[in-house]
Amino acid sequence: MEYKTVPSICPYCGCGCGILLEVVEGKIVGTLPLKTHPINKGKLCIKGWNVHEFVYSENRLTSPKIKKDGKLKEVDWDEAISYAAKKLLEIKEKYGPNSIALISSARCSNEENFLMMKLARSVLETNNIDHCARLCHSSTVVGLIKTFGSGAMSNPIPHLEGAKTILIFGSNTTEAHPIVATYIFRAKDKGANIIVIDPRKTHIARIATKHLPIKIGTDIVLVNGMINEIIKNGWEDKEFIENFTEGYEELKKIVSKYDLSYVAKVTGIDEKEIYETAYLYAHEKPSSIVYCLGITQHHYGTDNVISLANLSMLTGNVGKPFTGVNPLRGQNNVQGACDMGCLPGYLSGYQKVSDDKAREEFEKFWGKSLPKEGGLTVEEMFAEALKGNIKAMIIQGENPLISNPNINRVRKALKNLEFLVVLDIFSNEMTEMADVVFACASFLEKEGTFTNTDRRVQYFPKVIEPIPNTKPDWQVISLLAYALGSKGFSYNSPEEIFNEMSLLTPIYRGISYERLKKNPLQWPCKTRLDPGCEYLHKDGFTQGKGKFIPVEKKEPFEIPDEEFPFILTTGRTIFHYHTATMTKNSPSLNKELSSVYIEINPEDAKRLNVEEGEKVKVISRRGEIEIEVRITDNVSPGLVYIPMHFSESPVNVLTSHEPLDPQSKIPPYKYSCVNIKKIK
């Protein structure tokens, strides 16, 4: 007889909430919230309450597969591993190491991401490793490194409760990060100003004390306008600017032309509102900025992030408690995947591959020389695959056939590969395309660590044994590396991997499983006695002084015209997680929402003569889909919205893969031009 509850970390978003899995005789039967967890304190969203549902789904992969004669056949592990290794070596020999590209999973543990990075660099000898942060917060990493020196959330989530003014840019916080929204609600109950800047009337916009329904993509203009007002009226924090920043004069010059009437015209927001928002942010301190993909997912996303950093430095609202520039990371371990160096230009801990000193540490430890030049980012990988330069890819826990922009092009790119290896826990569109499929164990079936959006490294234990015939990713990668000829992957446990990683990664050096089992730790944590870093940039920035980098208004890459008169933007709902690989296989979540819809404003619906629930065709320059109509005032006339979730009506058929942001290489998900036609 057995009943126990095992603490773990929710796999469904970057909040990193504590959950308890109920286990009866080795089987998971339910989920409870973990009441004393520092972030969620016993609260969960609907996904968190139903974590246990996907584990025993009949769609779980239960055997590795190889594509023989165009069909996937179940094989045993030895055959799958040796076949994959053989083909990869062949391709490496024939076309060179840079003909292989890897995409690691932001849902897999830190240990597994570290191993993917090690596999790419020390075994396959390529820097072509990237992951989905490229598609969501690469603008954050690049933008904040340029201005602050560190690309992560500056303050911890609980600090939001103590802010007097919170600006929320492009974040549907309640739906995308429900427990972060809890802190914002508490701040509101204490009298804080909650100002939401979003073209849509989202849930949090309705709760806010002020909603600025900005014209999509014009955030730089608004922020520059606010900066200009603050400087004009002398509200800036002169002491902070003097002591901790450089580049102020240049900024002052550039923003001077963003006067209120110009900004109001471009952004569509009242002059009075802009003035008030600037006043509140500069006066009712401490003030905090929270932002998400509405800022980053444009082809000038990095500049958007930089403008927010400028605003915070101008008013001294960074490097102090309850302030900060706070990007909300999406996946449960996307921060970790970045930290582990699954980036084409960085080793773990944001050490550049071109930094000889840093690279030599790795070369010494691994006993191999590592490639010096930066590799390809995700979209570039697909571009090169189309051109025939990338011949093989290893894709772990990712579904680009739903989550990347311009899906039709992604499919062509993948078809053009000679060899595709996919690691996943469920069969989905990606596993159908693969030449080799590895059936992996879920996070509940192995131990490891995740790093959430506020840099908190958290340990999660093994709750149950892996589903029969599946293996944890770290074992799969190790076996593959061994078959490829490497001797450096003989790990007996994820802890050994973590220890190796922490020796090579200064910001994680003080962290160990022993310490994590006592409490989570926020990096940078450089020594065994370092208690971790609650908030960044205290008394100075990571690079010394923060840099003001002036940015200017950018033009959209396509504008509404007669052929494509509507602007489409995309996002996520609270009921499902991204491509819904896991949540689609959870009955409670499917009961709430099992298909997506297009949100159309009532005026537009009348003009188009469409009704609630009617199926329409949505067309863009990239492709077309059929989807159900939902009439709502969440969107203003001229704007439409489709959640990204299901393969039946995948919105990313319509979005564009270019132009990429020149600095971060992020594609412009949040903006495309579409047309809507009735289906006769």
Partner 1 sequence: MENEIKEKIKELIVNKEVDGFLGLRRYFNYVVPYLFTKENLEDLEEFFLDEVKYPLSKIILKIKKFYPDKKFGMLVRGCDERHLIELNKNNRISLKDLYLLGINCSENMVLKCECSSPYVRIANISFWEKTRGKEFENFYKNLSFWIEKFSRCIKCYGCRNICPLCFCNNCTLEEEFLVRKGLLPLDYPIFHLIRAYHLAGRCIDCGLCEETCPAEIPLRKLYKEINKKFYRIFGYKPGENIEEKHPLEFLEEIKEKNGI
Residue 7 binds partner 1 (CB under 8 A): yes
Out of 1, 529, 559, 679, the only residue in the binding site for partner 1 (CB under 8 A) is 1
Number of residues that bind partner 1 (CB under 8 A): 50
Nearest approach, Cβ of 191 to partner 1 (angstroms)?
Answer: 14
Q: Tokens at residue 451, please? A: 């790093």
Stretch that binds partner 1, among 31-39, 128-136, 295-303, 617-625 (CB under 8 A): 31-39
Residue 641 binds partner 1 (CB under 8 A): no
Where in 277-333 does DSSP place strands (E)? 287-291, 325-327
Among residues 6 and 266, whose Cβ is nearest to partner 1? 6
Nearest approach, Cβ of 641 to partner 1 (angstroms)?
Answer: 13
Cα distance between residue 305 and residue 303, in whole Å: 5
Interacting residues with partner 1 between 446 and 465 (CB under 8 A): 459
Residue 33 binds partner 1 (CB under 8 A): yes
Where in 531-654 does DSSP place strands (E)? 546-547, 566-571, 597-600, 615-620, 624-631, 639-643
Out of 574, 610, 629, 644, the only residue in the binding site for partner 1 (CB under 8 A) is 574
Residues 6+ away with beta carbon under 8 Å from 624: 617, 618, 653, 654
Beta-strand relationship, 210-212 and 193-197? parallel
Residues 6+ away with beta carbon under 8 Å from 75: 63, 64, 65, 66, 83
Is the dihedral angle over the CA atoms 559, 563, 569, 570 positive or is it negative? negative
Nearest approach, Cβ of 592 to partner 1 (angstroms)?
Answer: 5
Residues 6+ away with beta carbon under 8 Å from 560: 566, 567, 638, 673
Nearest approach, Cβ of 182 to partner 1 (angstroms)?
Answer: 5
Do the Cβ atoms of 342 and 505 come closer than 8 Å?
A: no
Residue 11 binds partner 1 (CB under 8 A): no
Could you give the string, one character per residue 249-288, with x where binding to partner 1 holds by CB under 8 A and - elsewhere? ----------------------------------------
Nearest alpha-carbon partner for 196 in 227, 229, 165, 239: 165
Nearest approach, Cβ of 171 to partner 1 (angstroms)?
Answer: 14
Among residues 4 and 678, whose Cβ is nearest to partner 1? 4
Out of 357, 487, 518, 680, the only residue in the binding site for partner 1 (CB under 8 A) is 518
Cα distance between residue 620 and residue 568, in whole Å: 9
Stretch that binds partner 1, among 3-11, 99-107, 359-367, 391-399 (CB under 8 A): 3-11
Is the dihedral angle over the CA atoms 535, 540, 545, 551 positive or is it negative? positive
Cα distance between residue 131 and residue 378, in whole Å: 7
Residue 487 binds partner 1 (CB under 8 A): no
Which H or E run includes 314?
helix 301-314
Nearest approach, Cβ of 37 to partner 1 (angstroms)?
Answer: 7
Interacting residues with partner 1 between 179 and 218 (CB under 8 A): 179, 181-182, 185-186, 189, 203, 206-207
Nearest approach, Cβ of 233 to partner 1 (angstroms)?
Answer: 33
What CA dihedral angle connects 230, 235, 240 and 246, to 10 degrees?
Answer: 30
Question: Beta-carbon neighbour count of residue 544 at 10 Å?
Answer: 10
Among residues 9 and 433, whose Cβ is nearest to partner 1? 9
Among residues 517 and 606, whose Cβ is nearest to partner 1? 517
Among residues 29 and 503, whose Cβ is nearest to partner 1? 29
Nearest approach, Cβ of 22 to partner 1 (angstroms)?
Answer: 7
Out of 39, 44, 119, 152, the only residue in the binding site for partner 1 (CB under 8 A) is 44
Beta-strand relationship, 245-246 and 546-547? parallel
Nearest approach, Cβ of 208 to partner 1 (angstroms)?
Answer: 11
Separation of CA 459 from chain center: 20
Among residues 42 and 531, whose Cβ is nearest to partner 1? 42
Nearest alpha-carbon partner for 74 in 84, 88, 62: 62
Q: Which amino acid is at 445?
A: E
Nearest approach, Cβ of 212 to partner 1 (angstroms)?
Answer: 19
Cα distance between residue 384 and residue 145, in whole Å: 27
Out of 149, 178, 316, 397, the only residue in the binding site for partner 1 (CB under 8 A) is 178
Could you give the string, one character per residue 222-251, with x where binding to partner 1 holds by CB under 8 A and - elsewhere? ------------------------------
- In the block, tokens 């609650």 appear at 534
Cα distance between residue 237 and residue 250, in whole Å: 17
Interacting residues with partner 1 between 45 and 74 (CB under 8 A): 45-46, 48-49
Question: Beta-carbon neighbour count of residue 270 at 10 Å?
Answer: 12
Cα distance between residue 100 and residue 203, in whole Å: 43
Among residues 55 and 255, whose Cβ is nearest to partner 1? 55
Interacting residues with partner 1 between 526 and 555 (CB under 8 A): none
Stretch that binds partner 1, among 88-96, 306-314, 521-529, 587-595 (CB under 8 A): 587-595
Q: Helix crossing, 219-232 with 248-255: angle to 10°? A: 110
Residue 174 binds partner 1 (CB under 8 A): yes
Cα distance between residue 45 and residue 270, in whole Å: 35
Stretch that binds partner 1, among 15-23, 112-120, 389-397, 492-500 (CB under 8 A): 15-23
Separation of CA 11 from chain center: 13
Q: Which amino acid is at 266?
A: V
Among residues 459 and 671, whose Cβ is nearest to partner 1? 459
Binding site for partner 1 (CB under 8 A): 1-7, 18, 20, 22, 24-25, 29-30, 32-37, 40, 42-46, 48-49, 174-175, 178-179, 181-182, 185-186, 189, 203, 206-207, 459, 517-519, 573-575, 591-593
